[in-house]
Amino acid sequence: MRKVLLFLGLALLCVGMLSAQKRSLAFYNVENMFDTVPSIFYDDSAYTPEGRYQWDTERYFKKVKDIAHVLDDVRADVVGLAEIENETVVRDLVRALKTDYCYVHITGNDAMGRDLALLYKADRFEMEKAWLSSSGASREFLNVRGELLGHKVHIIVCHLPSVFRSDEMRDRALKQLKLQTEHIVRTEQIPVFVLGDMNWTYDKRKQAYLGFDAPLLKLAAKGYGSYYVSNSWRLIDNIFVSGNEKFRIADCGIYIRGYMLRRTFSITAPCRTFTRSKYVGGISDHLPVYLVVESDFAQ
């Protein structure tokens, strides 16, 4: 009888170890993370030592170190990045991290040279392939296919047109995002995670249109945000899930720490690197957002 109970106890322990395994995904707009070398493909002269921002090696590597500090604190298994100039910058960032990350970077078509990238821990996410797809607007989507907790998943990293561009461009990109996501879910029947700077505050109307599960929506409804503008917090950075039958949402949030903020008499907001053309040495004008998922029995 004791042997039977011991066996059952060990079996339950093993099941407990296998069940409810978790993985975390995050997104971070790192705000104009340029190197100091002039590009021959676009005008980045402002981000050179002689340019408007006097963007020298010291300022550049401080930015790299600061962003690495945030990502080391977030400790996500998969991280989407926006506004990172090129592969050189991605490599410098990966070298500065205390955590071992692999990366995906494909040069995009943004006229200002601001690309997307994906960092991932190879023992937590198995990357299979990556490519860019058209957004119908100014910046392409970064697509990454792989396995998370033994399940096939598709990740789309995006940076929709700025609020300073036309609403038509942003709507066109949203339509493409919806169409591409629906196609993947319908034809391949795998979950799609969308990580990105949407440049608008998500609400129930947009949720109904896109059909995405938006766990962070409850935070936006309480007035929390990832970006501070016009004297209010707005959740313009988000993580959506579509076609999800493999995972449960265990947690989600906006990552915020005091060292990421600037404080004045009237406001507390993310401390950006520049205020207009004045260098203030902040990390980014955005805060990271994150999502934790779990699956009972990884395949």
Give per-residue pLDDT as tens, 134-159.
999 889 999 999 999 999 999 999 99
pLDDT at 277: 87
Pairing label, strands 289-295, 21-33 = antiparallel
- Name the band, by pLDDT with cuts 50, 70 and 90, for residue 14: very low
How many Å from the N-terminal Cα to the C-terminal Cα in the chain? 33
Q: Which residue has the higher pLDDT, 141 or 166?
A: 141
pLDDT at 16 over 70: no
The Cβ of residue 74 has, within 10 Å, a number of other Cβ atoms equal to: 17
| Backbone φ and ψ of 60, nearest 5° | -60, -50
Residue written as tokens 């249109």?
209
pLDDT mean over 48-57: 96
Contacts of residue 82, Cβ cutoff 8 Å, sequence gap at least 6: 27, 28, 29, 30, 114, 116, 157, 159, 196, 197
Q: Please give the mean pLDDT across all residues of the chain.
A: 90
Q: Is the dihedral of CA 75, 244, 250, 200 positive or negative?
A: positive
- Name the band, by pLDDT with cuts 50, 70 and 90, for residue 231: confident
C-alpha 86/C-alpha 96 separation (Å) is 16
Per-residue tokens: 63: 């930015």
- Name the band, by pLDDT with cuts 50, 70 and 90, for residue 209: confident
pLDDT at 4: 40
Contact 159, 114 (CB under 8 A): yes
Q: Which of 61-65, 124-128, 232-236 has the lowest mean pLDDT?
A: 232-236
| Backbone φ and ψ of 108, nearest 5° | -100, -170
pLDDT at 19: 55
Amino acid type, 36: T
pLDDT at 235: 94
